[in-house]
Amino acid sequence: MAISVFDLFKIGIGPSSSHTVGPMRAAAQFATALREGGLLAQVRRVEVRLYGSLSATGVGHGTDRATLLGLMGEWPDQIEPKQIGPRIQALQECRELLLGGTHPVPFEWQRDLLLLEENLPYHPNAMTLIVFGEAGELHRDTYYSIGGGFVVDEAQAQAGQLDQDSTVLPYDFSSGEELLRLCQRHNLRVAELMLANEKAWRSEAEIRAGLLKLWDAMQECVTNGLGQEGILPGGLNVRRRAARLHRSLQELGKPNVIGSTMSAMEWVNLYALAVNEENAAGGRMVTAPTNGAAGIIPAVLHYYMRFNPEASEDDVVNFFLGAAAVGILCKKNASISGAEVGCQGEVGSACAMAAAGLAEVLGATPAQLENAAEIGLEHNLGLTCDPVGGLVQVPCIERNAIAAVKAINAAQMALRGDGEHFISLDQAIRTMRDTGADMHDKYKETSRGGLAVSAVEC
């Protein structure tokens, strides 16, 4: 299967790529199919069934609201986040859903939106959408939100098509070993190889413009995060910290504690906190490669752009391309879904990607880049996904800051070496996959284990 950098990085909304962005996309696809099939005007009732992890933590992740907005014809990269609350409130008050944005259908929240404990066979993040007409059921489809905003329907899942893109790439690779071999054979850097592959979909100018648009969205997310204070929604009473930390850092006349390294680390923390606080509040952001881990890559890239006076837009492009190469390997050979393999698939993959992107722009050889990614992933193996209250707040926000610093350290360690190392990236990814398979479901985005229950017990 062919995966583009723009599959891994998508503009959307918080708080979750798998539980918010994916369900909204699935529901919007469903509404579009009804319109194109000539069924929209015949619909008299709609029913939403959420299964597995979407049911267990869906309310805290906004799955219910996202699905209904998708049924109303909204898409995560286009909807204005500030409209979500008022539109959901209006739906609850008038009890009428504008299916596809045009066709009014009665909607009773408790009757028509069901949270079911059972799991469907292909993935823990499953949902079934059903519409009824005067004579009974008109149409249904089941969707799986497989991480990072990726969605497949029942037919694709049954056919094993977890990614239906069959584009032929000039330098296709499915392992780190293949990636390194291709780079060596064709004398290419990782970013150069990725750019050549991306040209199978679009021109170099379009690639560049698209990646810089992603960077603009990341910068806007940080800016928005720095400008907001108060309590995050959801009931945990988690207070935003980014704005206060930003003021504190701006007041410093010189680097704190023992020099620029400690000061830089605080800025990295700041950027990650700002992004993930915005995510927790349902703001606009970029999946990188998921929302739960969306602060890591922006924090590391902001760090590079701020502390390197020679940084340029070319570095932004190469950073994304280098990071995406590793993200492709994680997705192909394991998972980037917390509901499937735990947080190692989200934060671990993002840490490895950020380390690879930073290594690329710092001049790493392909072997050093692979080493940086392996270090970043290896030291997140076994990480559970246990959000307290089903909200992407505790421990998720701080976890992004810690992983961002870890990614920078991984890149620095790899650049001090020659690329030779004991555990390969392929081995680390396989270990992530196997560890995820062994991990109890309560540690995989269900909020039924780990910190999610420890916090309640305490």
β-sheet bridge partners, residue 103: 99
213 shares a domain with 92: no
Q: Are the C-beta atoms of residues 372 and 417 closer than 8 Å to each other?
A: no
Q: Are the C-beta atoms of residues 346 and 295 closer than 8 Å to each other?
A: no
Amino acid at 24: M
* Pairing of the two strands 45-51 and 113-115: parallel
326 shares a domain with 214: yes
> For the stretch 404-420, what's the b/e string if a residue is b when 16 or more beta carbons lie within 10 angstroms of its beta carbon?
bbbbbbbbebbbeeebe
- Those residues whose C-beta lies under 8 Å from the C-beta of residue 254, and which sit 6 or more positions away, are none
Listed residue (384, 407, 386) closest to 454, CA to CA: 386
- The answer to whether position 197 is within a domain reads yes
- In 86-170, the DSSP E strands lie at 96-99, 103-106, 113-115, 125-133, 136-147, 150-153
216 shares a domain with 262: yes
Q: What is the DSSP letter of 390?
A: G
**Domain extent for 233:** 176-457
Q: What is the DSSP letter of 40?
A: G
Domain termination site, one of 108, 126, 158: 158
CA-based Rg of the chain, rounded to a whole angstrom? Answer: 22
CATH of the domain at 36: 3.30.1330.90
- Our CA angle for 73, 78, 80, nearest 5°, is 100
β-sheet bridge partners, residue 46: 131
- The answer to whether position 3 is within a domain reads no
Compute the distance between CA of residue 258 and CA of residue 254 in angstroms, rounded to an integer. 10
- 385, with CB counted inside 10 A (0-12, 13-18, 19+), is buried
206 shares a domain with 326: yes
Record the tokens describing residue 143, joined without a space: 């969707």
pLDDT tens string 44-91: 999 999 999 999 999 999 999 999 999 999 999 999 999 999 999 999
216 shares a domain with 266: yes
222 shares a domain with 94: no
Q: Are the C-beta atoms of residues 124 and 107 closer than 8 Å to each other?
A: no
Amino acid at 344: Q
* Pairing of the two strands 103-106 and 96-99: antiparallel
Compute the distance between CA of residue 384 and CA of residue 329 in angstroms, rounded to an integer. 20
Q: What is the dihedral of CA 340, 343, 345, 346, to 10 degrees?
A: 120
Listed residue (396, 338, 382, 395) closest to 124, CA to CA: 338
Which pLDDT score is estimated for 255? 47
pLDDT tens string 205-216: 999 999 999 999
Listed residue (347, 318, 323) closest to 335, CA to CA: 347
- The answer to whether position 171 is within a domain reads no
369 shares a domain with 281: yes
Residue 438: φ, ψ to 5°? -80, -20
Regions of the chain where pLDDT drops below 70: 161-164, 253-261, 456-458
pLDDT tens string 1-55: 899 999 999 999 999 999 999 999 999 999 999 999 999 999 999 999 999 999 9
Q: Are the C-beta atoms of residues 175 and 247 closer than 8 Å to each other?
A: no
Q: Are the C-beta atoms of residues 70 and 31 closer than 8 Å to each other?
A: yes
Which pLDDT score is estimated for 165? 78
424 shares a domain with 314: yes
Domain termination site, one of 113, 129, 158: 158
277 shares a domain with 188: yes
130 shares a domain with 188: no
Q: Are the C-beta atoms of residues 43 and 310 closer than 8 Å to each other?
A: no
- The answer to whether position 295 is within a domain reads yes
- The answer to whether position 443 is within a domain reads yes
Q: Are the C-beta atoms of residues 386 and 450 closer than 8 Å to each other?
A: yes
- The answer to whether position 392 is within a domain reads yes
- Those residues whose C-beta lies under 8 Å from the C-beta of residue 410, and which sit 6 or more positions away, are 351, 352, 355, 372, 373, 375, 376, 379
131 shares a domain with 218: no
- The answer to whether position 163 is within a domain reads no
Q: Are the C-beta atoms of residues 265 and 249 closer than 8 Å to each other?
A: no
- In 109-220, the DSSP E strands lie at 113-115, 125-133, 136-147, 150-153
Which pLDDT score is estimated for 458? 43
Compute the distance between CA of residue 27 and CA of residue 140 in angstroms, rounded to an integer. 11
- The answer to whether position 165 is within a domain reads no
Amino acid at 166: S
Listed residue (271, 273, 274, 276) closest to 287, CA to CA: 276
407 shares a domain with 303: yes
With tokens 């990236």, the residue in question is 425
Total domains in the fold of the chain = 2
Which pLDDT score is estimated for 437? 97
Which pLDDT score is estimated for 258? 42
Q: What is the DSSP letter of 17?
A: I
